[in-house]
Amino acid sequence: MNRKKFLTSASVLAIATFPGSSLLSAPFRKTSKSLPIVDTHQHLTDTDRFKENWTSPPIPGNYSMHAYLEATKGLNFVKAVYMEVAVPPARRREEALYAIELCKDKSNPTVGAVISGDLSSPDFENYMAEFKDSPYIKGVRAGFRSTDEMMSEQVLKNVRALGRMNKSLDFSIMPAWYQGINKLIKACPETRYLVNHCGNVDPRAFLDPSKYTGKPEHDRDQWIRDFKEIASSKNVVLKISGIVTRSSGYPLTAENLAPALNQCLDIFGPDRVMFASDWPWCLKSMGIEPWVNILKTVVKNRPYREQKKLFHDNAIKFYTI
């Protein structure tokens, strides 16, 4: 057995080892044409280089660029966008400079970066001044302490400043906060937004109850209504990721993930969705190759041009990379 066949077999075996799971309900079918892939959510936690007080990877290990290249070998990952890894506030500038260093290094696929920032800080614009003209810094990812904070004057001021800088805002929130983030989006229409990780949808909300344990974290119909409202703003795009990282209570198969994934793809449409690996956070459940193969299986009956938009074209256009 050659190395490529071995890796594919190992990936299938890895999925099959989850409790109660079986192999994917449909076999992995490679698309008739080789899909180039842009990874829009590449985490690197190089603790060998940055030592203590940097960040904590999801499972023990050093997740450097070298490790990322090994993890994606043979998968046709042609470009990547670095995503901040929640370093302490005092080290955010250091991380941003590291991301720029990666982008300048032509020996790796990273060509853009999303850095961390505090939208509630009066000093936010001063912090961003160093990076506002950088062709490599594409945007900021920020968290919120409450839905009330989303609509604070300071946050609104800083989000509008991102729009003036032509930088985007990544955010990851739970469905209970959808209505709050939608108000922020409507209040700052000149800024571009990226919903991370399929909006933290719970696939159980779209499955037959006999297929899972536990209670879904949100109501199916309410989720659809609120998610459609976010998607109604055309300056918002969706990263198709994270769904294997947070999944619990059911087998991680294409069959079980397809209903939620198809809702995400259909609500945002083929021009505003993009693949993201969330590596190494995805390793809490599976490696990059099984995740890529699950998503390819889910979309295998969609037109090739839509698959290419999802895995490549939309990211190239959005990030101008």
Q: What is the pLDDT of residues 36-90, one digit of tens each?
A: 999 999 999 999 999 989 999 989 999 999 999 999 999 999 999 999 999 999 9
**What pLDDT is stored for residue 26 in this prediction?**
35
Q: Please say whether the beta carbons of 38 and 78 come within 8 A.
A: yes
Q: Is 93 exposed, middle or buried (0-12, 13-18, 19+ CB in 10 A)?
A: middle
Q: Please say whether the beta carbons of 256 and 209 come within 8 A.
A: no
pLDDT at residue 13 tops 90: no
Domain boundaries, the chain: 33-319
Q: Is the dihedral of CA 107, 273, 59, 293 positive or negative?
A: negative
Place 11 in a pLDDT band, splitting at 50, 70 and 90.
Answer: very low
The helix (H) or strand (E) run that includes residue 158 is helix 153-164
Average pLDDT of the chain to the nearest whole number: 90
Average pLDDT over residues 81-109: 97
Higher-scoring residue by pLDDT: 277, 51: 277
pLDDT at residue 260 tops 80: yes
**What pLDDT is stored for residue 49 in this prediction?**
95
Place 33 in a pLDDT band, splitting at 50, 70 and 90.
Answer: low
Higher-scoring residue by pLDDT: 265, 6: 265
pLDDT at residue 114 tops 70: yes
**What pLDDT is stored for residue 34 in this prediction?**
85
Task: Tell me the pLDDT tens digit for each residue of 219-248.
Answer: 999 999 999 999 999 999 999 999 998 878
Average pLDDT over residues 13-41: 54
Place 20 in a pLDDT band, splitting at 50, 70 and 90.
Answer: very low
Higher-scoring residue by pLDDT: 203, 28: 203
CATH number, domain 33-319: 3.20.20.140
**What pLDDT is stored for residue 246 in this prediction?**
80
Place 18 in a pLDDT band, splitting at 50, 70 and 90.
Answer: very low
**What pLDDT is stored for residue 248 in this prediction?**
81
**What pLDDT is stored for residue 9 in this prediction?**
37
Stretch among 23-32, 200-209, 286-295 having the lowest mean pLDDT? 23-32
Average pLDDT over residues 204-213: 94
Average pLDDT over residues 132-161: 97
Rounded Cα gap, residues 252 and 22, in angstroms? 8
Tell whether omega for the bond before 280 is within 30 degrees of 0, i.e. cis: yes
